[in-house]
Amino acid sequence: MRRTDRFPVPGLIAVAEAVGWNAMASTYLSKISDRIIVCPMTSPGRGHYMEADASIVTSFDSDSAVIGQAVWEALLLFRSAPNLGSPKKRDWPAYRASGAKSVRAFEDQFVRVSVEAFPCVLRLEAVVLCRAANELFVGGFISNACEFNELGALIYQVSRSAIYVMEQEFG
């Protein structure tokens, strides 16, 4: 159960007001690598985002509530940063936390689910992992007052949906 004293919806609103735009986080899921990586985002200005260090790395079959709480914590860590850091893919925090042998292997094995906090809802999006999909994505919305297990379950569902679309439409 989400403790509203530690994870209040107004907390997300306060983060957005302090930075000037909606809080964001990234979640990477890989059944092959048996990992889920959750990263808070940073931004020097609207439209430019980069992941901060990975805040949690856990196994793929983790309880949905664990994933939901990790994403909430990452959203609350969203900050404005004057410098986005290294543009090199090998310095990418999620890649470094993945244990993948190469950036290419990481990109092939992990589904990225982006989470953006709006005033009333969280929007989740996952890009279909196929060059032929041409940036096609799947996603969903959930109340930002949801329980952790509901958010975690939607993250799993969105990632599975991205994989399903890739296999059925482009496989």
Residue 54 pLDDT > 80: no
The mean of the pLDDT values for the chain is 86
E strand intervals along 1-152:
24-30, 35-45, 48-51, 56-58, 79-80, 111-117, 121-127, 137-143
Rounded average pLDDT over 58-80: 91
Token pair 């306060």 is at which residue?
14
Q: Has this prediction a pTM greater than 0.85?
A: yes
47 versus 146: the higher-pLDDT residue is 146
131 versus 36: the higher-pLDDT residue is 36
Give the whole-number percent of the chain exceeding pLDDT 70. Answer: 89
As a whole number of angstroms, the distance between CA 25 and CA 74 comes to 6
Question: Residue 84 — pLDDT band, cuts 50, 70, 90?
Answer: low
Question: Residue 134 — pLDDT band, cuts 50, 70, 90?
Answer: confident
- Bridge partners (DSSP) listed for residue 45: 48
Domains, the chain, in order of start with CATH, read: 9-170 (3.40.1590.10)
12 versus 63: the higher-pLDDT residue is 63
